[in-house]
Structure 1
Amino acid sequence: MSEKYKFFQHKECEFFPCHNVKNTEKFNCLFCYCPLYFLEDCGGNHTYINGIKNCTDCMIPHSEKGYDHIIGKIVEHNKKKAQNGDSK
């Protein structure tokens, strides 16, 4: 089965690439904005500036294994919520 759905590039974007990288051919734009922003334990390299999460130095969403990491974290988060009886 193809896994092409895990990778997307938008080279015409005025911000491409939005991070300094050595190899733009492997730069993944699929998660332009990381869906794990809401998680404190997202597994990424983030800091807090005045209480706001700063993900500038995190490359997980743009990496080759980023899709698998993000989907895994979402599944893990939803399982924890279900175990705690939290439906929101």
Structure 2
Amino acid sequence: MNNKEKKAVFFDLYDLYKEGELEGGTLQWMKEHEHLFGAEAENRKGQYEHGLNAPSGDIRQIKYMKCLTYGLYGFFIVLSIWMTVWFYF
């Protein structure tokens, strides 16, 4: 495993490591690599919590899905009202 892959694995497991959810070989591996990637993981975590380093593509996709969902809700509400009025008249 190269250094880039190790860093990715460390970042993926970092929250579990800080919460004490890891055990055995995984915990030992995280302890061995904390001096290499720990400070960067803390910085990255802080930036994500403050929204400074959030991927813009993900944010755009979430906004798109939110608009689509609200649009579909509105469509079905109008459709149900129209069907109710049409049925009774």
**TM-score, normalisation: structure 1:** 0.30
**TM-score, normalisation: structure 2:** 0.30
- Of structures 1 and 2, the one scoring higher in RCO (CA 8 A, sep 6+) is 1
Larger radius of gyration: 2
